[in-house]
Amino acid sequence: MGAVAGHLYERLAEEFAGAIERGALRPGERLPSVRALSSKRGVSPATVVQAYAALEHRGLIEPRARSGYYVRRRLQVSIAVPEVRETARKPRRVSVASAIHDLFDAIADPSVVPIGAACVSPELLPIERLNRLLSAVSRELGSLGGTYGAAEGWLPLRRQLARRGVEAGIALSANDVVVTNGALQALELALRAVTRPGDIVAVESPTYFGILQLVENLGLRAVTIPCHGESGLDLAALAAALERHPLRACVAVPSFNNPSGACLPEEGRIALLQLLSRYDVPLIEDDLYGDLHHRGPRPRPVKAFDSHGRVLYCTSISKTLAPGYRIGWIAGGRYHDRIVQLKRGADMHTAIPLQAALSEFLAGGGYERHLRVLRARLATQVERLRTAVALRFPAGTRVSNPSGGFVLWVELPEHVDSLELQRAALANRISVAPGVLFGAGDEFRHYVRLSAGHPWSERTERAVATLADLVRVPTALAV
């Protein structure tokens, strides 16, 4: 296990922080008096006073006049959200390939606590029902898979996907949709449809590392636009970049950005589209997390406001249903025909039996009910993880407060190198996603992304405590 905090008062503070996190000490409950605790534990009153001061500093407990210390009632408000980082304005070639390897290696290992990869636990997904439908369609549709199909995808599935788009607010028909191998292929086809090698595109900072990898693999250059934790893409910075560079596309995850969790408000979505229209630049919109809002209505995609076919809308079922099925889709607007051509050239089409099974699943109903349950579970898990980080991690830590999705973006004290943290955490059988993966340069070296996709357990709780110890004691990172 990880290193333990040094001073006696720190250990005492940790012990009480753990008790608060587990709910053994509940909000509003009184802590033992200084005198009582000092005699019970055989430590000096000064040590107890110091421990309580540390807990108060972390926002966990509060003093009340002449009556002692109490657990604060609203723990979750006691930690700040990460700051926006100014990122370089110059277009850059980016390289993140090697750092991603370790993250994916850990997914397949059940002995590793899975708070690294942005995956929803299979036990929260109706995967068995989907698998049963796969065998049923394979039996019933005889020669299904015996010939090539349309590059656009299986028509009944495209109808279902278009219907989901319509429910999200986008005016679509089956003819506007191309089925892809996951959102990643949708993004790749979108980028290839609107750029050539050497072109410059705007990407958010921080952003999903798959987008950075695509930029790298396609020989593009990226201008990074700061993405505010709460309000999303910085439109003034984007306007400046449009003025300065011949941008060929803007790639954004407006709803619950991975990793920051940011959600661009509706007026920002309209302004974004107006801004890009002025420069005739297409928007590649990644809406992978749009269905996973924790409260309120689903955010309407930017594509819902697009009357000129300027938005290439990309999404998939990977975060809500079945990442292993590798099914996503793209509504490419005015670039639709080019995307069909690129899809055919890339891999002919997505596997038909899988498309047919998904089509049956969506047609059979129950998906919305599943999403409602999933959203509630994820909202609870995110809050649980967030509270644990707030309680355990050292002063100077900041945590995002997303209103959707299931990842947390954690800014650690500046001395922490997240690649070292990833290595030390793996040595403790814990996977985390180091911040460097999510930036085109080194700007997020002391950040880490944690995933709340799995149900909370004692194992997760212990893992968070170990990570906190590793972060607190810099030498513990040198494994």
Ligand X SMILES: Cc1ncc(COP(=O)(O)O)c(C=O)c1O
Q: Which residues bind ligand X (CB under 6 A)?
A: 118, 182-184, 208, 210, 253, 258, 286, 288, 316, 318, 323, 328
Which CB sits closer to ligand X, 31 or 202?
Answer: 202
CA 133 to chain centre: 29
Beta bridge partners of 313: 285, 331
Which CB sits closer to ligand X, 184 or 190?
Answer: 184
Which CB sits closer to ligand X, 61 or 357?
Answer: 357
> Following CA atoms 407, 105, 206, 313 in sequence, which dihedral angle do they give, to the nearest 10 degrees?
-80
Which CB sits closer to ligand X, 184 or 203?
Answer: 184
Which CB sits closer to ligand X, 154 or 329?
Answer: 329
**Least Å distance between CB 49 and ligand X?**
46
Phi, psi (deg, nearest 5) at residue 419: -70, -40
CA 50 to chain centre: 37
**Least Å distance between CB 181 and ligand X?**
7
Distances (CA, A) of 250 to 199, 242, 285, 439: 12, 10, 8, 16
The residue at minimum Cβ distance from ligand X is 182
Which residues have a Cβ under 8 Å from the Cβ of 475 and sit 6 or more positions away?
3
Which CB sits closer to ligand X, 59 or 165?
Answer: 165
**Least Å distance between CB 470 and ligand X?**
25
- Using CA atoms, how far apart are residues 397 and 395, in angstroms rounded to an integer? 6
Q: Which residue has the tokens 């997904």?
A: 125
**Least Å distance between CB 391 and ligand X?**
27
- Using CA atoms, how far apart are residues 295 and 320, in angstroms rounded to an integer? 16
Which CB sits closer to ligand X, 318 or 400?
Answer: 318
212-246 in b/e burial notation, b at 16+ Cβ within 10 A? Answer: bbbbbebebbbbbbbbbbeebbbbebbeebbeebe
- Using CA atoms, how far apart are residues 78 and 90, in angstroms rounded to an integer? 36
**Least Å distance between CB 315 and ligand X?**
8
Burial class (CB in 10 A: 0-12, 13-18, 19+), 391: buried
Provide the token pair at 339.
């995307």
The strand pair at 430-431 and 113-114 is best described as: parallel
Which CB sits closer to ligand X, 2 or 323?
Answer: 323
Which CB sits closer to ligand X, 176 or 285?
Answer: 285
Provide the token pair at 48.
């107890």
